[in-house]
Structure formats: C-alpha cells, structure tokens
Structure 1
Amino acid sequence: MFQIDRSSNRLSKLERTTFAEVGFREREHLQEWLAAMPDALCEAMSEGQDSLLIIQKEFDGFDGTRERLDLLALDRSGQLVVIENKLDDSGRDVVWQALKYAAYCSSLKKAEIVAIFQQYLDRNGGGDAAVRICEFLGEDALDEVVLNDGTNQRIVFIAANFRREVTATVLWLRDHQIDARCIKVVPYKFGEELFIDLQQVIPTPEAADYMIRMAEKDSEEKSAKGAQRWSHQMRLEYWDQALEALRSAGLERWQNISPSRDNWINSSIGVSGCTLTLIFLRHEIRVEFQLNRSNPDENKWLFDRLVEKREKYEEAFGCELEWRRMDDRKVSMIVCKTPVQGYSKENWSDMIAWLIDHYKKMDEVFSEQVRQLASRMKPGGGI
C-alpha cells in the first residue's frame, strides 16, 4: 500500500508489518474492531450483502462443549454467519473449528437466536433484540421474519496469511455449495500511524459472481443427472420384469430383446420400419403401432389405408384408439394408452399385464393388415 503525498506529488510506501510486531491481539483488537464495524468486513466481501449484524462475541452456547466461536452474525437474508478470526497465521485447524461451529449453529431456532442477541445487547449498551433484528431485515414484526433457514449458514475466515491446506479446503467447500470465504487482513504502518487492509481472496471479488453462477449451474446439472440415473435404473428394472412376463406369455418376438434404460422397447412385425412399441412413462403406459419407414410418404399411405376402416378396427380392438398421422413428422402411429403411477413398483404387475393384453390385441388387429398393405405398396407409397 502507498500513501499519496499531495505536496510533492509522490507516493510513499506503507510498511507491511505483523500484528505481533505492533502488539495487537486477536480477541482484544481484531475481534473488537470487526464487532464495532462489521461494514469493514462487508466492504471486503463486496458482494451485495451491504451489512452484517453482529449478534454475539465468543459464543459458547453449544451443548456439551466449551468451544467458542469468535463472532456470530446475521446477514440481510436472515442467515447465520460464523466468523473466525486469526491474526498473522490461519493455523491448520481453523476450517475444522468453523465447520463444527456452523454445524452447531444450524439447529438454532428463531427464539434462540433472538435470546443470543439479547444477551449480547445487554452486555453492550442495551436494546431490544427483536426490534433490532426487524429493523436490520426491514420487516415490521418478528413473526414475519425467517431466521437460519435450512443449511445455508455462511463461514468467513479472517487472517493475514492462509495456509495452503486452509485455502484448498475452502475452495472444496465452495464447490460443494457451502458459502465459505477467506478475508485477508494485513496491518501496515507509516511512521506512528497504523492501517489495516481487508481483502477477500477466496473467492476473488472479480470471480465471485461467476463462481456463484457456476455453482448454481453445477448443482442443477448434478440434480438433473441424479434424476436421470435414477430413472434409467427404474426403467431397466421395469423392462426386465416386463420382458420376462412377455416371454412367459409365449410371445416369441421378445426372446432376443434386452432390457433398456430408454422409456420404450419395440419388436418388428416383419415389415421394415413397422413396429409394435411398448412405452413406459412415469404417469402413463402405451402400446403403439408405429409406421416409421424411411420414406414418410409410405408411412402416410399405410396410415390412410388403415384409418379408412377405423370403426372396424376399433370394434375388433374393443375400445377407441388414438390415430396420429402427424403430418409434420415422418412417423405415423396408432396408440392405446392408460394412466398409471409408473414409478410405484407395487403397480408394475398390473401395468405389465395391461401391456401384454393390449399388445396382443394390437398385434391381432393390425399386423397382418399392414403386412398385406406393404406387399401391395410401390416405392414412394401407393399401389
């Protein structure tokens, strides 16, 4: 750091020192400075959290322990902030200590937080804790205030130097959605004057917004991938049971079909591109007669020939069917479906029985008709 000398239009270097050299102590000095002016800490974080409300110093309200956290605060969202101060060196165990404190604090209820703050105020000039919290959060009444919601407690580490094991762990915590930060506090002297500089080093101010967005994106992707892996496993289990039942029912087309993690399996009827397809969805199962030859015109021609006798086929099938020509797509299909709670395994035996029954009907009503139509069809559709 440098001081500007206006008269000489020159810079004068401030001498970096240590807290030990100038006789400052962690609790008597650094802790008191931050408790009296938490805005200095917020300026260093420069993240839109424009203030912290210190609610306790040397908090030791943990059942069964004698441990004390340095400073406990609330941020503007009503979340607890655990602040751990060290002087010239962070030490090796500061992260472990802070994680324990954050875990302890995660269970604090609103009434407990108000009582903790009230104790602090009673020792430091008085005041009404509930009123002060409402004023800080911009709420009219404590009933409308949510404090310490979920597991989003924040951790702030303060030291002049951070050991590599500390910074590596803080970065790992941030990758796992824990808002941990390192604030570097360095003392300087110039003659008889003393200064301190507070700067956030993890995450760097420039990278903070980016890291938050990336963490949110990563969380979203992990959630989606987890759900995808779960659904894939569910489908494999379902199709394994369904295929066993299809084979046991004497349906030879399914002998060489393997379980799939897709939501469909199909079998050919002996005509290229024409299949009987079984669909397994979370809220629906379907049997589809798909006309999906490489030439769209051939699919539409086959569909049009079948739909001409719709009433006859539905009478033979025993219920109405969905006839989907789908002019904007290559495929056309005839569909039979029913609603289910597909991911409830206790329903699977009934669902599989429904699929087998309606698969057989679809096969009996349409397969031979499509084979006959396909034998008359010229390339490109039509006869």
Structure 2
Amino acid sequence: MPLYEMTSDAFLPLARASFANLKVRERDDLQRLLRTQIDVLGDDLYVLTEEFGDWDESRRRIDLLAIDTLANLVVVELKRTNDGGHMELQAIRYASMVSAMTFDRAEQIHANFLSRIGQPADEARTRMLDFLGWENPEEESFAPDVRIVLVSEDFGKELTTAVLWLRERDIDIRCVRLRPYLDAGKHLIDVQQIIPLPEANEYQVQLREKEQVDRKRRVGRHDERLKFWETLIAMARTRQTRHAHRKPGTAGYLSATSGVAGLSFNYAIGLQTASTELYIDRGNELENKSIFEQLLARKDEIEATFGAPLLWEPLETKRACRIKDTIERGGYRSPESEWTMIQSSMIDSMIKLEAALKPGLSALGI
C-alpha cells in the first residue's frame, strides 16, 4: 500500500520510486548505510563485517555478516531489485559456508573490518563481548545457528514461496522490504518486515517449538515401540509361534498372515493398551462383511474354545472388520519391568485366538 501525507483536507499519496531510478546502488549506498545502522532492519544485530568471502574456491561474498544477541550468525543479503532475484539461494550457500565459524575467527574478521572503516581493530573482542553480554568468549555457545535476512525493494512470488517453505522446515529466514518514495525531492524509505509478519512471528515461533516437541515425542514413541516388538518377537521365537520371524517396526501393530489372503493375525499396542486380533480386509467391503458374518455365526463355539468373550467389531466406518481380545495388563509406555508379563499375556491370547478361529477359517472355503 502507498504512503500518504495527511493534510487537514486529504490524504495525499507520496510518489513511489525505485532504487534504480534514484540511482541507489547496493554496495555503495544500501550496504554502506546499513553496516552502521543495521537496526533499521528492525532486529537487534551487530555487524561483524561486509563483503565477506574468505573461503577457498569461491568468489562469492556475503553483503553483511552479523551476530544477534543469542550469538547466532546472521547472513544479510541485499538487492535493489523489485523481485529479489535468486537471493535466497545465494544466502543459503553463504549460511552453510559460515556455519562452522568460531568466536576466535569471528573476532579476527571483525578486527579487519574495523580497521578498514577507520576504527580501532583491537576493540573487536570487547565490542563483541559487550554486545553479547558475555564476560569472556564462550566458544561452545557461539554460532549455534545461522539466520538469514533478505533485504530488497520488493520480493517476487517464487522467492516468497521458497522462503515460506524454508521457514516451515525450521530455517530462520526472513524478508525485509525497503520501498523508496519521493517527497518534495527527499528520498523516503518505508521499511517493512513482510515474512514473517512481526505480529505473527511470536505465534509462528510457538508453533515451531510445539512441532519440535511433538517431533521428539514421535521419535521417542517409535523407538519405544520398536524395542517392544523386538522383545516380543524374541519371546515368540522361544515359543515358536506365528510371529516368531516377523521383522520388528515402529508401527502400533505387528502383523502375520492367517493363511487366508486378506486375513491377518495382529498384535496391537498403545501407550497403556494391548490387544490381539483377526483383521479382515480382502479389499472389498461386502466380502469382508460376509466373512465377518460367517465367523460371527460361530460366535458361541469360538468364544467357548477361546475361553472368554471377544470383541466383534464390524467397523462400520471402515472397509475392514475385526475380531479382538483386549489385554488388561498395559502397553509400551508401561514400565519395561512389566513388558515380559504383558508380552507373555499377548502371546497366550494370540495362541488361543488362532486355535479358536481355525475351524471357522477352514470352513470359509477361500
């Protein structure tokens, strides 16, 4: 949206300009001004150097390299164009190149920069420590991450789409728009962070933190289930049961064929639950229901052989059907000291379930 001058009678739009028309250059103008007024970008940054390119076999240079108050390195890439070009790709390369930088190396770089701009090089360490609020260098806490700030007159859709995609994958990259205006011969700059919107940034950070916690929980859950199945299969081998040679995985179930296509004997576990089941899914809902009804007709016989009532679940909202026994002892989040008891009960249940259903399965004729 345009900027306006407000008078007593009207809102008067200011004339939009462009850096190209104003003959504003990236390095000699934008970069030169921002290196000493980096706060214009709306972030608490400290510039270490400009035009940094101290790496082998590359002539690429970072426009501005900074640190933030958390000691993260910050790559600032500048363009005076109205679409940003491919600056996000350049910045990602730069971020990877500096990601292993140490405090001592950063101090050397900053000392050289101070010397070039006519300031005392021997103050590099003190200035960096003052900005970070450290008494002494903390090498293990320096550069835990690399952030990216893209600065341009405007940004094209391809670039903003890429930036949003990267942010969804926990890359801290943002876009700051510098939009020039003319007002009675004066050059005005409207500075706006457009990705992420400042008012939405905190919420997005909270969402990312929640996702990171959830991801850790998912990984932990998968590891626990894998371990549970490994130990259950080891017990199944000693008892020479149907699942003895199945491969353990991270899912909530462990399946083995019943000998009838589309019908499987499954173990299932939850946080505090465990069960055994015959799962019926031959790919056709009507056929599944027909098989279920044939077995259900033998319910009394099957349950008498099994020795207890079973859960007969037609699963009306699904294509499949299920005949199930619930184990009352617990699941994979139960203490590991109880796993042997739980797994033994599951195997006992499975042996009885297979025996109880064997005549009915044989009578299906499929």
Q: TM-score over 0.5 for the alignment?
A: yes
CA deviations on 1:242-277 (whole Å, 9 max, x unpaired) are 2232237xxxxxx98644445776799946699796
CA deviations on 1:334-358 (whole Å, 9 max, x unpaired) are xxxxxxxxxxxxxxxxxx9xx79xx
- Give 1:24's aligned residue: 24
- Give 1:312's aligned residue: none
* TM-score, structure 1 as length reference: 0.64
User: Which consecutive unaligned segments of at least 5 residues does structure 2 have?
Assistant: 242-255, 259-264, 277-304, 310-324, 349-366
Q: Is the 8 A contact 1:236 1:260 kept in 2?
A: no
Count how many residue pairs are aligned between Structure 1 and Structure 2: 278
- Give 1:2's aligned residue: 4
Q: Is the 8 A contact 1:80 1:154 kept in 2?
A: yes
SS in 1 for 2:158: helix
**1:140 correspondence with 2:135:** yes
Alpha carbons of 1:208 and 1:269: their partners in 2 closer, same or farther (altered >3 Å)?
A: same
- Give 1:153's aligned residue: 146
CA deviations on 1:200-252 (whole Å, 9 max, x unpaired) are 1101112111111111112222222232233333333332332232237xxxx
> In the alignment, residue 237 of structure 2 is paired with which amino acid?
E
- Give 2:15's aligned residue: 15
- After TM superposition, give the deviation of residue 157 of structure 1 in Å: 0.5
Alpha carbons of 1:243 and 1:208: their partners in 2 closer, same or farther (altered >3 Å)?
A: same
Aligned partner (choices 86, 89, 97) of residue 82 of structure 2: 89
Aligned partner (choices 173, 179, 184) of residue 172 of structure 2: 179
SS in 2 for 1:219: helix
Q: Counterparts of 2:201 and 2:331 in 1: how far apart (Å)?
A: 45
- Give 2:245's aligned residue: none
Alpha carbons of 1:276 and 1:11: their partners in 2 closer, same or farther (altered >3 Å)?
A: closer
CA deviations on 1:104-148 (whole Å, 9 max, x unpaired) are 111101111111111111111223110001111122233588320
- Give 1:246's aligned residue: 239
- Give 1:39's aligned residue: 39
- Give 1:344's aligned residue: none
Larger displacement relative to structure 2 (78-87 or 279-288):
279-288
**1:226 correspondence with 2:226:** no
Q: Is the 8 A contact 2:274 2:327 kept in 1?
A: no
Q: Counterparts of 2:269 and 2:202 in 1: how far apart (Å)?
A: 38
**1:100 correspondence with 2:93:** yes
- After TM superposition, give the deviation of residue 39 of structure 1 in Å: 1.0
Q: Counterparts of 2:175 and 2:307 in 1: how far apart (Å)?
A: 68
- Give 1:207's aligned residue: 200
Q: Which has the larger radius of gyration?
A: 1
Alpha carbons of 1:24 and 1:275: their partners in 2 closer, same or farther (altered >3 Å)?
A: closer
**1:194 correspondence with 2:247:** no
- After TM superposition, give the deviation of residue 53 of structure 1 in Å: 0.5
* TM-score, structure 2 as length reference: 0.67
Q: Percent identity?
A: 27
Larger displacement relative to structure 2 (118-127 or 269-278):
269-278
Q: Is the 8 A contact 2:267 2:275 kept in 1?
A: no
Q: Is the 8 A contact 1:54 1:73 kept in 2?
A: yes
Measured on the aligned residues, the alpha-carbon RMSD in Å equals 3.2
User: Which consecutive unaligned segments of at least 5 residues does structure 1 have?
Assistant: 43-48, 249-254, 290-351, 361-383
Q: Is the 8 A contact 2:48 2:109 kept in 1?
A: yes
- After TM superposition, give the deviation of residue 91 of structure 1 in Å: 4.0
1:1-383 maps to which residues of 2 (within 5 A)?
Answer: 1-5=3-7, 8=8, 10-42=10-42, 49=43, 51-127=44-120, 128-143=123-138, 146-149=141-144, 152-247=145-240, 258-262=266-270, 270=307, 283-286=336-339, 288=341
Q: Is the 8 A contact 2:151 2:178 kept in 1?
A: yes
Larger displacement relative to structure 2 (51-60 or 8-17):
8-17
CA deviations on 1:294-326 (whole Å, 9 max, x unpaired) are xxxxxxxxxxxxxxxxxxxxxxxxxxxxxxxxx
Q: Counterparts of 2:66 and 2:81 in 1: how far apart (Å)?
A: 23
